[in-house]
Structure 1
Amino acid sequence: MSESAPRRPQSRPLSRRARWAVPGGVAVALAAAVGVPALASADGSDLPDVTPEQLLTRVAEAEPLPVQGTVVYTARLGLPELPVSEMTGADPLNLLGGSSTLRLWSDGADRSRVSLLGATSEYSVVRDGAEAWTYSSTDDAVTHLSLNPADQARYDALAGRLEVAPEADLPTPEQAAAQVLARAEQDSDVSVDAPTVVAGRDAYQLVVSPADDGTLVSRVVVAVDAETSAPLRVQVWGQDDGDAPSLEVGFTDVQFTDPGDAVLAFSAPAGATTEEVVVPLPEVDEAALDAARAQHEAGADPTGMLPPGVAVSGSGWSTVVEVAGLDVAGLVGGEPAALGSVPGAERVLGSDAAQDLIGEFVPRDADGQPGRPSLDGAALYDQLTTAVPEGRLLSTTLLTVLVTDDGRVLAGSVPADVLRAAA
């Protein structure tokens, strides 16, 4: 099938498949990768031709399906080697460098399990609605995150209108594709490339290219399963990439079958320690929530919905976000009190329950007293950033972050000189 000419898609609301919270693993994946396994064969197939609009519509209208399979996540972002002595264990930190293998199970609704596999250990996130568990075999420790009964009742009443996801989410092709599809609604040219085979399944390739040349992103290629319209692989290419994308997450094997309760139900391993953490649900103005959702689906300017201290400049793929008043040193050093400097934090950090929640994540020593993090955040920060007249600069092939000396953070998929000029 020949490549379709780039077209601007018509705006359409995304299905439940495409409504998601950006996973923390993707947001912090800032390292160069080595030893990348092949995720797909180069052979195409005799699939019927589709237009970009038809393929976008299929993905947007597809109902979520149960799924289980193996996912490989890889980053090639051009950062220096991380100052970590051992990266062989299963820890979300591993997503900062190299290739990582994950196992994924989902019922297609609100129950899922994702396990990050290491050479001799694993780290798992299990979700059941607003309830979640994390398990680290390295520490033999379970963290159970839940709502109190009153908040659970409010959450149930807002079902379908409020998105709540575990903080320790891990990247999947579905989540990455949803973010791309949201970007495809504006400021992008969309085309269909030659079909391919991913995890043994015929797939179309949807290519989303920024319409402006001021961004570091060259294009994003989403492999879409020809039978189910489920995303099988996402590749994000930078302007300077050669033969390989800067970021890649895709299935190496996949089955669209329900894994069953035996897999999705969480049971703490024998002998594991368990911490119970009650997460406070922010107060929600239902009318404002519905209005914000309507504005989002209509493609309205989100600037008016931003919390104080957050400003947005530019548009589309060249958008720059600026956050003022941050206690950067405290955040880097892992100080819980520094979380209060994050814009919007007052919505959830004002209660006793919220302060107790923060305390749960303060590292403890052998006697249960507050201790120091096992990873020196300040050393990691210094290693990954460089000094510039404005402060400290983090540069990758897809994202640039500038931390100014006066406590502002500017970030965007733009060259460093754009952020420095904006500062």
Structure 2
Amino acid sequence: MTETATPRRTFSLRSRWSVPVAVAALVAGAFIAPPLIASAGDHGLPPVTPEALLAQVAAAQPTALSGTVVYTARLGLPEIPFASAGGADPIVLLGGSSTMRVWSDGAEKSRVALLGATSEYSVVRDGAQAWTYSSADDAVVHYALSAADAARYDKLSGDLRATTESPTAGALPTPEDAARAALAHADKTSVVTLDAQTTVAGRDAYQLVVTPRSENTLVAKIVVAIDAVTSTPLRVQAWSTQDTKAPALELGFTDVRFATPDAAVLAFSAPAGATVKDVVVPLPDESAMAGTAAKPTPGALPDGVSVTGTGWATVVTLAHVDVASLVAGDPAALTGALGTKPTIGSESAQGLIQEFGPSDGKGPGDKFKLDTSALYQQLTTQVPEGRLLSSALLSVLVTTDGRVLVGAVPAETLRGMA
């Protein structure tokens, strides 16, 4: 898509997809709940229990598809002026509706394109490498493994396929076992029912409804529509206790086709004239991949981190946070709270952190020309305890003494804990 004359804006690549990732987490979270009510088969679909439906999802093979997805956020956040200029900067996902096109071969190749009125932002994956492209900046970032790590990745992938096809795989838990375990695990925090069967993107679907048992949470329910034929989630809705008329977050197909996309769609080619930046992403050390790396004592938390409450009413508190540096976009600001340097799987990952971390005393906000301080002021309000971000699904309180309290609970709960 060719950019027309619009204000030039940039945004940190580290946080471009934080909101979609949060929505994906809602999908995963929706698959952890206990069986209670069976479907009445009101759309002609066979009756099914939540446990059986989850087993079908667990047993389903990845499916090739292409389609259009609409994402809508009604979080009750203040309008962000520079997020409404018609561009495809993912910051627009904080409010309003956005359209995305998705393609996948059901294996290791996929493309997602966030469409704006005047630009496009794309993420393309091919196995262990990926590309991002912003037409607004005419910039490409290529993420790939080193040659040694790429060879190790190929070997690990081959070993996994061999294990999956081996007769000994029968010793692994069945989908039914996995479904029962997931349901039993969440029995103390959630209740699951099946809502009326529905149609999404022209396809019949079951609706799984996850309702928190706690009354001290902003989340009223999570509703997942699951394709009756492929067991693919077609739509996810997160409802808030603050609004019973419309979901606070909604991500769903408006059209979908279950067929392998054309190879040209899944192949990435940098547009002529675009700047290209290569980033080497480290593969975790073998000990970490095998799960043999040193692990913290179960239940132990880093100094400065505390957890209050359980389930949906959980509140996490970080103490000793350098709030000014954090607002400036410096990830090292959390070091004081976590009591350690940030790592992402191996020592070699530090180079990647430094790539996107601060340099010369400046944070990514300076590097990518995003006024993070202005964004912080825009999204939060002054309260006696500090500054408060209050949304339909999440509350964040930054206190004057350098603590950060986060939870899917009412703002009054955090203020009372401060």
1:191 paired residue number:
193
Q: 1:112 to 1:323 in 2, by over 3 A?
A: farther
TM-superposed deviation, 1:380: 1.0
Is it true that 1:395 corresponds to 2:390 in the alignment? yes
TM-superposed deviation, 1:411: 1.0
Return 113-122 or 46-55, whichever deviates more: 46-55
Counterparts of 1:266 and 1:182, CA distance in 2? 40
> Following superposition of structure 1 onto structure 2, how do residues 155-304 of structure 1 map, counting pairs within 5 Å?
155-156=153-154, 158-159=156-157, 185-186=186-187, 187-283=189-285, 285-286=287-288, 289=291, 303-304=299-300
Larger gyration radius, structure 1 or structure 2: 2
Counterparts of 2:215 and 2:293, CA distance in 1? 33
Counterparts of 2:21 and 2:257, CA distance in 1? 27
Is it true that 1:24 corresponds to 2:18 in the alignment? yes
TM-superposed deviation, 1:349: 10
1:72 paired residue number:
70
Is it true that 1:319 corresponds to 2:321 in the alignment? no
Structure with the largest fraction of helix? 2
Is it true that 1:331 corresponds to 2:330 in the alignment? no
Contact 1:336 1:358 in 2 (8 A): no
CA RMSD of aligned residues (A): 3.5
Match for 1:114 among 97, 106, 112? 112
Contact 1:336 1:359 in 2 (8 A): no
Task: Structure 1: state its 5+ residue gaps.
Answer: 1-21, 30-43, 163-180, 294-300, 365-369
Q: 1:362 to 1:246 in 2, by over 3 A?
A: same
Return 374-383 or 284-293, whichever deviates more: 284-293
TM-superposed deviation, 1:291: 9.4
Task: Structure 2: state its 5+ residue gaps.
Answer: 1-15, 24-41, 161-181
Q: What code does the residue aligned with 1:219 have?
A: K
Q: 1:389 to 1:320 in 2, by over 3 A?
A: same
TM-superposed deviation, 1:310: 3.4
Counterparts of 2:236 and 2:21, CA distance in 1? 15
TM-superposed deviation, 1:341: 5.4
SS across alignment from 2:291: helix
1:407 paired residue number:
402
Contact 1:218 1:239 in 2 (8 A): yes
1:347 paired residue number:
343
Contact 2:316 2:407 in 1 (8 A): yes
Q: What code does the residue aligned with 2:342 have?
A: E
Q: 1:198 to 1:110 in 2, by over 3 A?
A: same
Q: TM-score, normalised to structure 1's length?
A: 0.75
Q: Deviations over 1:281-312 (max 9, x none)?
A: 4446348727999xxxxxxx9744x5554332
Q: 1:72 to 1:160 in 2, by over 3 A?
A: farther
Counterparts of 1:292 and 1:212, CA distance in 2? 35
Q: Deviations over 1:201-221 (max 9, x none)?
A: 011111110112111111111
Identity across the alignment (%): 58
> Following superposition of structure 1 onto structure 2, how do residues 40-119 of structure 1 map, counting pairs within 5 Å?
45-84=43-82, 86-119=84-117
